[in-house]
């Protein structure tokens, strides 16, 4: 039972940090642009944390420090990714509630700034639905290949954000944070091949 309490605590803490955007679903007078921005940013934040685990583990191994932290992060990575998906779902729910009509949603679907968001969401949903242990066992090696789609999902989310946000500096900042673990992975691959 203790692992269950530990898992629930992780979800409670990670979701509490973005509680305003979650609570905004129950508030009709909530400010729509702020809710869309915050729910999208929280989703990207946790996605970046989730993809940072592997390069961080390699860095920990290289430095020979902090193995306990690395193992803990590895065990919690799935939950961090699912919290990212929860905020992506929240982002979508705010949008659907604001649009209110199916024809308006379908009209937006064909515009690039929204199509990139829908594609990113579809990938994130597929990853979330296959993140459980039974999916890992059932899919075998295909599971790892599927979960590499987290990178295109993140890129599409950032592109969606770039196309809709007037302040490109914010998108550039988060794009750099998204690129950092990718760069670290590339560096570690180069080091391994050079050895």
pLDDT at 150: 95
pLDDT at 156: 97
Considering Cα of 134, then 139, then 140, then 143, what sign does the dihedral take?
A: negative
pLDDT at 46: 96
Q: Give the pLDDT of the chain (195 residues) as one tens digit per residue.
A: 466 777 888 889 888 998 888 888 888 767 888 899 999 999 999 999 999 998 888 888 777 777 777 788 888 899 999 999 999 999 999 999 888 888 888 888 889 999 999 999 999 999 999 988 888 888 888 888 888 899 999 999 999 999 998 888 999 999 999 999 999 888 888 887 776
pLDDT at 113: 94
- Sorted by where each begins, the domain ranges of the chain are 31-194
pLDDT at 56: 87
């Amino acid at each position: 039972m203790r692992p269950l309490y530990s898992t629930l605590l992780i979800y409670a803490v990670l979701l509490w940090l973005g509680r305003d955007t979650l609570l905004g679903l129950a508030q009709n007078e909530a400010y729509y642009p702020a809710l869309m921005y915050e729910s999208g940013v929280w989703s990207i934040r946790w996605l970046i944390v989730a993809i940072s685990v592997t390069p961080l583990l390699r860095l920990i191994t290289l430095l020979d420090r902090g193995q306990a932290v690395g193992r803990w992060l590895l065990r919690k990575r799935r939950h961090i990714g699912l919290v990212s998906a929860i905020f992506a779902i929240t982002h979508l729910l705010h949008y659907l509630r604001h649009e209110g009509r199916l024809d308006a949603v379908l009209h937006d679907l064909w515009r690039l700034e929204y199509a990139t968001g829908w594609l990113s969401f579809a990938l994130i949903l597929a990853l979330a639905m296959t993140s459980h242990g039974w999916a890992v066992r059932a899919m075998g090696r295909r599971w790892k290949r599927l979960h590499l789609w987290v990178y295109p999902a993140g890129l599409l989310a950032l592109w969606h954000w770039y196309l809709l946000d007037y302040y490109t500096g914010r998108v550039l900042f988060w794009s750099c944070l998204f690129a950092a673990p990718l760069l670290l992975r590339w560096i570690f691959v180069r080091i391994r091949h050079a050895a």
